[in-house]
């Protein structure tokens, strides 16, 4: 794919390499389309939880892992902020592996001078969570949601249609999920404000969003499990979300039409 976008900053989170629902192929495709001066990997890049239960590391995951590593050798500054699924890496806070810096949290200054607090977001779990029972039920319900999402999109692909997040659509219509997302957003904004920041960038909850709350801008990068989304900053400091599957379909509409005819 022809490279058409150059970002000042790119944020990716919740890739979950080593997990069966990771959309590694889509992210490889996206990284061919763009380049960035700085890349922040905002946690849950490798899903060590999933691999401790059942090891899987397909070719596309290996290719993506090495592609992310190679960016630091190609002129992109890469900063890794580990989350809860890649928790063992948290102990290397403040260190560097090769050209990749590791921080539990970090402050980014945008081109227009705003200070953004960066962290994965699992730091807020105790304040957001309803309790162990609710968390367990939520995990099981999410697994079921991803199962439905997986098979729904296999059917769409067979019919020549692009990926669409059924999981995200269903979550947006569940009041309990929306309440938890709102609570998470409020806590993030409060913490950023208390630290004198102009905003916060996080991931963790797989819900991409840019939301202005008074003087604080809240940005969630989303994920590469459901939404295939990334947060970007242009060279003027403007922040935006890219939903890659939708963007890819816009860039190659004829491919989708041809696929449907073939189906």
Supply angle C-alpha 47, 48, 53, rounded to 5: 105
Mean pLDDT to the nearest integer, 89-106? 94
Closest of 27, 43, 4, 85 to residue 230, by C-alpha: 27
Mean per-residue pLDDT of the chain: 87
pLDDT score for 253: 64
> 135: Cβ–Cβ under 8 A, 6 or more apart, which residues?
129
Position 258 confidence tier, pLDDT thresholds 50, 70, 90:
very low
Number of domains in the chain: 1
Per-residue pLDDT, 137? 44
pLDDT at 135 over 60: no
Position 128 scores a pLDDT of 77
* Structural domain span for residue 192: 5-262
In this structure, what CATH number is given to the domain that contains residue 124? 3.60.21.10
Confidence of residue 125 (pLDDT cuts 50, 70, 90): confident
Place of tokens 């008074």: 214
Identify which has the larger pLDDT, 213 or 146. 213
Of 73 and 239, more confident: 239
Q: Tell me: pLDDT of 117 over 50.
A: yes
Segment 118-123 shows an average pLDDT of: 95
Q: What's the pTM value of the predicted model, to 2 decimals?
A: 0.87
Confidence of residue 257 (pLDDT cuts 50, 70, 90): very low
Q: In whole angstroms, what is the distance from residue 156 CA to residue 158 CA?
A: 5
Whether the predicted pLDDT of 53 surpasses 50? yes
Q: What is the pLDDT of residue 211?
A: 97
């Amino acid at each position: 794919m022809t490279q058409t976008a150059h970002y000042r900053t790119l944020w990716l989170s919740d890739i979950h390499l080593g997990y069966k629902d990771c959309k590694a192929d889509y992210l490889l495709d996206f990284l061919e389309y763009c380049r960035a001066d700085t890349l922040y990997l905002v946690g849950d890049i490798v899903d060590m939880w999933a691999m401790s239960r059942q090891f899987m590391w397909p070719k596309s995951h290996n290719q993506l892992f090495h592609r992310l590593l190679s960016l630091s050798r190609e002129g992109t500054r890469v900063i890794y902020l580990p989350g809860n699924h890649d928790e063992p890496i948290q102990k290397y806070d403040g260190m560097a592996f090769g050209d990749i810096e590791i921080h539990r949290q970090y402050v980014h200054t945008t081109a227009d001078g705003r200070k953004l607090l960066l962290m994965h977001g699992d730091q807020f779990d105790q304040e957001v969570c309803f309790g162990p029972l609710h968390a367990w039920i939520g995990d099981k319900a999410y697994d079921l949601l991803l199962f439905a999402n997986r098979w729904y999109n296999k059917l769409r692909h067979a019919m020549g249609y692009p990926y669409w997040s059924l999981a995200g659509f269903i979550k947006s219509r569940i009041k309990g999920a929306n309440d938890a997302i709102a609570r998470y957003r409020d806590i993030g904004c409060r913490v950023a404000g208390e630290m004198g920041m102009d905003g916060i960038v996080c991931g963790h909850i797989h819900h991409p969003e840019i939301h202005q709350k008074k003087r604080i801008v809240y940005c969630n990068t989303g994920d590469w499990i459901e939404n295939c989304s990334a947060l970007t900053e242009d060279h003027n400091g403007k922040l935006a979300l890219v939903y890659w599957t939708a963007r890819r379909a816009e860039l190659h509409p004829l491919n989708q039409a041809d696929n449907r005819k073939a189906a």
